[in-house]
Each structure stands twice: as structure tokens, then as C-alpha cells.
Structure 1
């Protein structure tokens, strides 16, 4: 820790020296850029909020008046669904991704790793790891590099699993889409239960002492890891200087998941417009005790991130599938996929993968039944 403090002081002095070398004209230009940024946000943000507020009427006018589709037709219902949900979800996704970018900027993973390995947390480390998984925009496969970083940093395996469980299940993508599609109550229950599942799953997996089932490659990394130098000086940067990068990162998240959003909503729109009302209800209806386990089993061969699957879940619910069953299906798709198992083989032995998948499957099924009781 003393080494880190020394590094921080040296870099802070270097930054101060760099600032001192700036000419008055450069300082003035930087200040003008900040003013332009603030003015742009002050103008654009209300416009985005207004667009979101008036979006239903605008989409109806475009679908039914401008391109003259009939509201009662299959094509009209599908096109209206597609445009409305795409624009709404992208707006929410950009705003929430930017907000999460601010959180991530001041709560970076490297500092979390150091904090969890140097402080006595009395069990709160599972909450922090699970919460961090919730605010990072990663699917199950892209979460694995951070999983390796956690293990390399010496974080206990149970705490690392708490992150790995929650990261694909709950993130700003899923929260933004849930908020827009299912409302505040369902969003809070979904996000809270996902974080809770990560905590409990991490505690259970940690108690099982499964470190010996990490792959030989990861164990070698763990044994030979050398703590990397941390660039903590970035935390000293003023907020307005960091804001352009945060906004850019928020847009990058939207850009990277845009294809998944469009594909997912397109599938959902087709189902919304053309699939018979009782098609899904016949298989996953509330009066069938096996509906939730069946939904989870059917989801495992599939793979999608939250952006791609949530619009499909909306259509499931519209067709009569209970929301709890639909959420269980979504959690299984994003958190228990075969591609994830394949990638996990790089860092775990099959026995550990089996235990991990088995426990999470059980938790998702239990949550599905609980969701159906409270939603």
C-alpha cells in the first residue's frame, strides 16, 4: 500500500507539472470546451426526455398515418412494436449507461480488488462484488476476463463467483429495458433478486472450497501473479474533464449492443404481431407446476445478452406467460448458456462448472416461483 501511495504522489506531481506548462490560451480553450459541453447537455438532455415522453404518439403517427399501416393488422402491430421499443430502449440504455459510467469511473474494478483483499468486510464483500457485477455492462462470456482478474488479484473464489453470477443477470442494459417494458416494481424486484442470488451463490460456492477445481492455467496465474501498479491519479481528475469520456463510453455501450437490441426487438415484434395469443401460454402457463423448470431447461442451449432477450420476454408476458416464468427463462438464457460453459472450461474444470451451473439453476427456479407469487 505504501508503494501505491508513493506512486500516486509521484503521478500527482507529474500532473501538476503538466498543468503548469499549459499556456493561458490552452487553459482558456479547455474552459471553453467545458462550457460547450455543459450547454450541449443542457439542451440535448431535455430533448431526449421530451422525445421519450411523446414517443408513443410519435410512433403511432409514423406507423399508422405516415406509412399507412392498419393498427389491427399483423404487420402494423409488429412495425409499431419494433419502432417504439427500439427507440425507447436505446434512450433508456444510453441514459442509464452514462449514469453507470459515472459510478464505474469512481468505483473501478482494480480498486475494488485491492479493497476486498486488504479490508475485513464481515461478509459485505459478497454484496460489493455482486453489486459491482450488477453495474458492469457485461454478458456472461465477457465477464470471464474480469473473473480471471479477480482470481489473479487474490480475491476469494466465493466473492469472485458472486460477481460472475450477477454480472450477466443484472446490468444497466437489463435494468433500462426492464424499466421501460415492465415498470418500476418489476425492475426493483428483478435487480434486487439478481444481486441477492449473486451474494448467496457466492457464499455457498465459497463454503464448498472449490479452488482446487480451477484450471491449471488459472492456478498458475494465481500463484505467479504480481500486483500491477494502479493508476489512481485518474481519481483526481475534475468531473467535467471526465464527463466526455463517460458519455462516449455510454454511447459505445449502446453501439456495441445495438445489433442485439435490433435483433431481439425484431424477434419480439414478429412474435407480437404474428404468434397466436395462447401459443406460449399452452406450454408455460401458470397452472403447470413444471413450467418454470421447463423454461430454464429450454433456455440453456440458447445464448443472448439482456439486450437481445428482454424484448422477447415482453412478448412472452403479452402472450400469457407469467412474468416470473419469463424472468426465469431470461436469467437462464443470459447466465447458463452453453457458450459460457465452453468458455468457463478455460478457467475451471468440468466438476466446478457442473457445481456452478447446478446451484445457479436451482436458484433461478426458486426465484421463478417467488416472482410469480409477488408479481
Structure 2
């Protein structure tokens, strides 16, 4: 399938637009056309499949499992984050729901990290851009970062740093019925439509930026910046990523272009993790439900875990 997309990109760029091969504009256009087709195709397939799996685990059932089986609460919360495509801001209401349901704070924070950073959108894009091996590694490291962060925060016993009213909220349970296979397929299809309608513009703009970087930013410029930072390139990437706000759909095509210019994979993916799992808008929302000390603890622990993952990525790839 992807060979067809490559042939189509070749035809449009070199035959229709008559751009000379290896010209900067030609490289940028080819990158944009090929990656747009490839990313949207794989993203649609991955979102559909994971949405189908998610239909078997509605949120009330998941909350019940997490509160009942606390020994496995951390991995379950991380896995729930994988199949829940929230950005860092929209994951906060789910975090509140977990806390008021009596789910341990360690599991609630694990979900808060995993949901925006590791989900079907991120995995679909990673598979389309870097292949299954890197996507599997990112999934493993992402879950590890989320679980480690949740575990460490839980060990600090931060209950007194969460606003009292959160523990007093009662969302209530809704009775859920078993869905038929047709209803599950319809749910998956509707979920694809809903998610893609929200992120298609971000992806298109990001691919356009990635195409510009791919075609016009000199390799020696990027390599010079990375080599100048040397060992500090990973924490520097995380520090730069935290003030930014993006989702995986918006940032990954840019990451791809940077890597093509010489940025190490671990450094680039650490930057991606930071922009998706930590953001200033998220901190502003969290300020309504927890005290600044806990927000600072959360940010430091997650950022440190991401830096560790970035270094490991660089060692392995």
C-alpha cells in the first residue's frame, strides 16, 4: 500500500508539478503528500481497532476494576490510558473521577501521564513513521514512565495536597448494557470519525511543518545544535517541551523531520513525551484540584522519568 502512496507522490511532484528531483521544494512536497496519505491510513486503522477493544471496557467497568483490584491498579490505569485518546488537559476530569471513586492516587496519576502520551493516535502515527519496533518500544517506555511516576507519587502520600472537595464529589454510576457486535463496530467507526475530525487539521499542519524542515532546514544546522548540547540534549529537549502544548498528532510529524536531520531518536521522543504529558495549560487546570506543591512534584517526577526514557532510547536505537 505504501509503495502505491510513494508512486503517487512521485507522480504528483515530478510529473504533475514538474519539480526537479532533490530540489528543496520537491523534497518538501513529496514529504507532505506521502506522509499525509500514510499517516491518515494507518491512524484510521489503529483508532478503529483500539476503539473496538475499548468497547468491551466502558469507563464504569474500568473504574470498578481499578477500585476492586488495587494490586494491579497501576498497570491497569496505564493500559486504560493507552486506549483513551485524551490530551493532557481533557485527562484531568478522568483523574478527578478516579480520585472520587476511591482509586489510589498512584493509579490516578499513572492514568494522567499515560493517556495523553501513549494512546492509539500516538501509536498509529509512530507505526506509520518509524515502524512497529519503535512504536512497541515507545509503548513500553511510555507505560513504564507512567507507572514509575504514579508509583513514586503514591509513595509520597500526597493526599493532603489534593483539594478536599475532590474526595467529596460523587459522580455516580450508570447502568451499562452489553453491546452487540454491530453496535461495537458502529462505535469504533464513529470514534474514528470523531477523533479524526478533531485532529486532521493538526496533523496536516504538522506534516506541512515537517515537510518544510525536511526540505529546507540544513542537516548540519540541526546536528550542530544537538552536538552542542551533547549529553544534556535529552533534558534540554524535555525542558523545551514542557512549556509547549501539543498532542501526539500535532508534534510527531515535526519529530520525524527533526530525526531525519540528525536529532537522536531518544532525544526527539523525549521532547514529544514532554509536550504531550506535561504542559502549562494542564498545570493551570490541575491547580483547581491540587496544591502547587503536588503539581511541582508531579512535573519533576514525570520530567525525570521522561529524561531517563530518552537516554535509554538513545542507547537502544
Q: How many correspondences in the alignment?
A: 317
Matched, 1:59 2:9: yes
Residue 220 of structure 1: aligned partner: 165
Partner Cα distance (2:205, 2:247) in 1: 11
**Any conservation in 1 of the 2:267–2:311 contact (CA below 8 Å)?**
yes
Greater radius of gyration (CA): 1
Provide Cα deviations, 1:166-218, integer angstroms capped at 9, x if missing partner.
11111111111111111121111111110111111111111111111113xxx
1:315 positional shift: 1.0
Gaps of 5+ in 1: 1-49
Residue 24 of structure 1: aligned partner: none
Residue 176 of structure 2: aligned partner: 232
Gaps of 5+ in 2: none
TM-score by length of 1: 0.82
**Any conservation in 1 of the 2:52–2:187 contact (CA below 8 Å)?**
no
TM-score by length of 2: 0.96
Residue 255 of structure 2: aligned partner: 313
1:286 positional shift: 9.0
Matches within 5 A, 1:1-375: 50=1, 52-119=2-69, 121-122=70-71, 124-215=72-163, 219-225=164-170, 228-233=172-177, 235=178, 237-285=179-227, 288-375=230-317
1:53 positional shift: 4.7
**Any conservation in 2 of the 1:286–1:321 contact (CA below 8 Å)?**
no
Provide Cα deviations, 1:323-369, integer angstroms capped at 9, x if missing partner.
01111111111112112111211221110100000001111111111
Cα RMSD after superposing both structures:
1.5
In the TM superposition, structure 1's runs of 4+ consecutive aligned residues that sit over 3 Å from their partners are: none
Q: Which has the higher contact order (CA 8 A, sep 6+)?
A: 2
Provide Cα deviations, 1:6-46, integer angstroms capped at 9, x if missing partner.
xxxxxxxxxxxxxxxxxxxxxxxxxxxxxxxxxxxxxxxxx
1:241 positional shift: 3.0
Partner Cα distance (1:182, 1:174) in 2: 12
Partner Cα distance (1:92, 1:363) in 2: 29
Partner Cα distance (1:212, 1:53) in 2: 57
1:63 positional shift: 1.4
SS of the residue 1:303 aligns to: coil
Cα distance change, pair 53–230 in 1 and its aligned pair in 2 (3 A): farther
**Any conservation in 2 of the 1:264–1:309 contact (CA below 8 Å)?**
yes
Cα distance change, pair 224–294 in 1 and its aligned pair in 2 (3 A): closer
Partner Cα distance (2:86, 2:265) in 1: 24
1:229 positional shift: 3.2
**Any conservation in 2 of the 1:285–1:321 contact (CA below 8 Å)?**
no
Partner Cα distance (1:246, 1:364) in 2: 31
